[in-house]
Copies of this chain bind each other. A is one copy, B any other.
Amino acid sequence: MDQVDSKILSLMHENARISISEMSKMIAMSQPAVSERLRKLEEQGVVTAYRAQLSPQKLGKHTSAFVMFKTNCCPDFIKFCEASPEIVDLYRISGEYNFLMKVLTETSESLTQFLDTCNPYGFSTTIIVLSTAFEDKSLITSKV
């Protein structure tokens, strides 16, 4: 992991569909060399996936919320969460609550309906997202 790798990761964070040849021009290195470095970063698990980022709004998901949950049936609860399309992220947390999840629903009504389906598993507190200032800031501080 040197500065060239950092630059590759930084470019890939900006646009994961950039071609290897374009990257190779930007970092002044031959295309097979860049290709091999990227392959190694994938192999080492530094790059875990390449994902298209989709607009929730354009897909009809207009309500976003974080829900903190307190449950004592963890394995079942995790299965339930995996099967719930509304839940995009699920974290195990410390403190009064067990879990924190990010939820996307069409409307506040469908959020209510979703919360009702969670009731059998325990107690929750819901934090409504009013707006997103920014998301997915790069983990890499690339020089050059």
Contact = CB atoms under 8 A, between A and B. Distances in A.
A85 interface: yes
A89 B91 CA distance: 15
User: In the complex this chain forms, how many copies of it are found?
Assistant: 2
Contact of A87 (B15, B97, B137): B137
Interface stretch (A27-35, A109-117, A123-131): A123-131
Interface residues of A, number: 57
A94 B131 CA distance: 10
A72 interface: no
A132 B56 contact: no
A16 B50 contact: yes
Contact of A137 (B45, B58, B88, B133): B88
A26 interface: no
A15 B51 CA distance: 6
A18 to B, nearest CB: 8
Contact of A130 (B46, B92, B134): B92
A139 interface: yes
A52 B9 contact: yes
Contacts of A89: 132, 134-137
Given A16-B52, A50-B51, 11 more contacts: A13-B51, A17-B50, A46-B55, A46-B58, A49-B52, A66-B91, A66-B100, A78-B133, A88-B137, A90-B134, A93-B130
